[in-house]
A and B are shown apart, each in its own frame.
Chain A
Amino acid sequence: AQKITQTQPGMFVQEKEAVTLDCTYDTSDQSYGLFWYKQPSSGEMIFLIYQGSYDEQNATEGRYSLNFQKARKSANLVISASQLGDSAMYFCAMREDQGAQKLVFGQGTRLTINP
């Protein structure tokens, strides 16, 4: 069974600093996808970034990048130049590439950006 582990319940960062949110995963599948979602206090789940297991380059989307280390089974999210609006819950998720392609989520990390 697939499992996602996020070991940081909470992170506090000064505005404009970079922050890394940790995510490790466990799977026996060779083909899978890794996602990060942001959930502000309003409750909506916002897709941030995707990394496929066969992608050789780390994914980037604006200020977001995914530090993918396949051998270590880690998929950390890096946010550069943090902003106050980045304060939210962040969830790492894995998608099975067969069947339902459902996402399995981690417990989340609450990120707080201090001015």
Chain B
Amino acid sequence: GAGVSQTPSNKVTEKGKYVELRCDPISGHTALYWYRQSLGQGPEFLIYFQGTGAADDSGLPNDRFFAVRPEGSVSTLKIQRTERGDSAVYLCASRAPAYNSPLHFGNGTRLTVT
């Protein structure tokens, strides 16, 4: 079946602009996660959705970052007033409800802020 889909695959934006990154999880996966991966580092947790609600947003670095999942499927990560330090690969993952299910990751969106 189809895996986690993320669009766009690459996004270049100017400092100060607003960006939206989209994630389409695997059908039937109620849990959805956003991670950020800087060059040479492991992924870092940003936010977790169970259904439509953000159950854990403790990894969001500041209030410029926001994410939604209005219908419990597709999620959008929104970054306002982008800064050069926001440049990274943003990974989305979804997980099946069964206990011990692994996270399945998308190919990520590479964000570059110039």
**Do the two chains belong together in a single complex?**
yes
A99 at the interface (CB under 8 A from B): yes
Count of chain B residues with a beta carbon within 8 Å of a chain A beta carbon: 26
Whole-angstrom CA separation of A101 from B95 in the bound complex: 10
A-chain residues with CB within 8 Å of residue B50 when the two chains form the complex: 100
The answer, among A42, A47, A91, A93, for a CB contact under 8 Å with B107, is: A42
The answer, among B42, B55, B100, B103, for a CB contact under 8 Å with A52, is: B100
Whole-angstrom CA separation of A4 from B43 in the bound complex: 12
A107 at the interface (CB under 8 A from B): yes
B contact face: mostly helix, strand, loop, or mixed? strand
The answer, among B41, B56, B91, for a CB contact under 8 Å with A45, is: B91
Evaluate contact between A107 and B41: CB separation under 8 angstroms: yes
Complex interface residues of chain B between 89 and 104 (CB less than 8 A to chain A):
89, 91, 93, 95, 100, 102-104
**Given A43-B108, A99-B56, A102-B33, A35-B102 contact (CB < 8 Å):** yes
The answer, among A33, A42, A52, A105, for a CB contact under 8 Å with B43, is: A105
B45 at the interface (CB under 8 A from A): yes
**Given A45-B91, A100-B56, A105-B42 contact (CB < 8 Å):** yes
What are 21 A-B pairs at a CB distance below 8 A?
A35-B102, A35-B103, A42-B107, A43-B89, A43-B108, A44-B105, A44-B107, A45-B103, A47-B103, A50-B102, A52-B100, A91-B43, A93-B42, A99-B56, A100-B55, A101-B31, A101-B95, A102-B48, A105-B44, A106-B42, A107-B42
Q: Which chain A residues have a beta carbon within 8 Å of chain B's beta carbons?
A: 4, 33, 35, 37, 42-45, 47, 50, 52, 91, 93, 99-108
